[in-house]
Copies of this chain bind each other. A is one copy, B any other.
Amino acid sequence: MTQPAEQADSRPPRRRPGGRTGRNRALVLDAVRAELAERGYDALTLDAVAARAGVHRATVYRRWRDVGGLLADLLAATGDDDWQPEDTGSLEGDLTALNRENFAALTARPSIAAALLAASFRSEEAARGLHRLWADRYTRCEVIVERAVRRGELPPGTDARRLLVAATAPLYHELMLLRTPPDPGLPDQAARAAALAARAGAFTRPS
C-alpha cells in the first residue's frame, strides 16, 4: 500500500507516449491525490482536479470521464511500480517491516491510503481498482513466506495469503473500521503474533 513517488515530469514533450500525455496524467493524478487527501471524496470533482493540475478541463473530461475514472486510474498508477517487501532475513522482521510501512501510510496526515479506502465505499470503480491493487500487493508479499519456508522457519504448505492477512488485518481493523487512536506498538505486535502462529502451524494447509 505504499504510494509511488510520482512526480510531474518536467522534461520537454516527446513524441512517444510519456510525452505530454504522460505528463498530463502525472499532473492530474497528483491533483486527485491532493484533493482526495485534503478535501475528501465528496469534494472531488473533475473541475477542481483540472484547475489544480493546470490541465485543460476538456482533456480531463475526455480522458477520465468522471470521478470513478479518476480513482480507477489513480489506483492503477499506484500499483504500477516496482514495490517489493523488504528482505530483513527473518519472517517476523519481514512482517514487521511490512506492517510499519502500512501503519505509516494509514496514519499519515493526510493519508492517501485511508482516503482511497474510504472512497472504495463510495465508488464501484474505486472498489474494483483497490481490490486489484491489493490482490497484487498480497501476491508480491508471498515471497516473504517463500523465503521463510526456504530458511526452515515455516513448514512447507503454509498458506501465504492467510498468514499475510493475519499479520496485516489488525492494523486496518483498528485504524479504518474501529477507528481507535493509532497504537504505535501494534505493527510489531501483530507481526509477532502472526509469525508465532505461523511457526506453530496455524496457516498450514491440510494435506
In contact, A177 and B172 (Cβ under 8 angstroms): yes
- A196's partner among B135, B172, B197 (CB-CB below 8 A) is B197
Give every chain B residue within 8 A of A118 (Cβ-Cβ).
Answer: 121
How near does chain B come to A71, taking the closest CB pair, in angstroms? 14
In contact, A193 and B189 (Cβ under 8 angstroms): no
Chain A interface category by residue count: 35 or more
Q: What CA separation (Å) do A172 and B186 show in the bound complex?
A: 18
Give residues of chain A (163-207) contacting chain B, Cβ–Cβ below 8 Å. 165-166, 168-170, 172-174, 176-179, 186, 189-190, 192-194, 196-197, 199-203
Q: Which A residues contact B (CB, under 8 angstroms)?
A: 117-118, 120-122, 127, 131, 134-135, 162, 165-166, 168-170, 172-174, 176-179, 186, 189-190, 192-194, 196-197, 199-203
